[in-house]
């Protein structure tokens, strides 16, 4: 495929995103990387995707952009009077083998989430808040309880903490993943 054809294909995959998400991505990065374009084409088509690529090739956004787009298009009902509304559980689960990697992913997710929210506000779109939480072996009991009462839209956890969640009442917060 020629470079022009490849760019056109990547532009087409970007056009599948909601206007504010597409505008944020375009103003921040321009076109998707070849890795992102290939992954999004499969994801948009409903297929399963495994992305293996070098550091700095856009894997994290390849994995998260479609999910972030869905969260902004279909916001989770937020808690009223301290009680989560039906469907207000975690919708995206990121399992990190290392707590430090999970912390980096959490920090890096704030960039698109804050950027898209700000762009939506400037456009006059209804406000949507996408929440991110993290649970590891070091998470204090009070914070773990809060994650159960008010599950984040995106939860980053380790395999060990996921196991503990799945064997406790916290598993109910993961039904919508």
Question: pLDDT for 92-138, tens place per residue?
Answer: 999 999 999 999 999 999 999 999 999 999 999 998 989 999 999 99
Question: What sign does the dihedral 28-33-39-44 (CA atoms) show?
Answer: positive
Question: What sign does the dihedral 29-154-48-52 (CA atoms) show?
Answer: positive
Ranges 84-93, 109-118, 153-162: which has the least confidence: 84-93
Confidence (pLDDT) at 81: 46
What's the CA gap between 103 and 84, in Å, rounded? 26
> What is the number of helices (H) and of strands (E) in the chain?
7, 3
Binned at pLDDT 50, 70 and 90, residue 79 comes out as very low
Report which of 2, 71, 56, 74 is spatially closest to residue 36, judged by C-alpha positions: 56
pLDDT higher than threshold 80 for residue 84: no
Binned at pLDDT 50, 70 and 90, residue 85 comes out as low
pLDDT higher than threshold 60 for residue 87: no
21-65: pLDDT as tens digits: 999 999 999 999 988 988 998 998 888 999 898 888 888 888 899
């Amino acid at each position: 495929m020629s470079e022009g054809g490849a760019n056109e294909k990547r532009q087409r995959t970007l056009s599948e995103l909601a206007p504010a998400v597409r505008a944020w991505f375009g103003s921040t990065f321009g076109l998707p990387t070849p890795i992102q374009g290939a992954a999004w084409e499969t994801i948009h088509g409903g297929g399963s995707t495994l992305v293996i690529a070098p550091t700095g090739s856009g894997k994290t956004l390849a994995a998260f952009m479609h999910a972030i787009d869905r969260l902004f298009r279909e916001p989770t009902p937020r808690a009223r009077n301290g009680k989560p509304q039906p469907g207000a559980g975690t919708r995206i689960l990121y399992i990190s083998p290392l707590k430090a990697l999970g912390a980096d992913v959490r920090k890096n997710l704030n960039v698109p989430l804050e950027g898209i929210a700000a762009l939506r506000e400037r456009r006059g779109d209804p406000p949507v808040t996408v929440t991110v939480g993290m649970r590891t072996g070091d998470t204090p009991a009070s914070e773990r309880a809060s994650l159960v009462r008010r599950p984040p839209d995106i939860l980053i956890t380790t395999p060990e903490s996921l196991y503990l969640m799945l064997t406790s009442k916290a598993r109910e917060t993961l039904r919508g993943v």
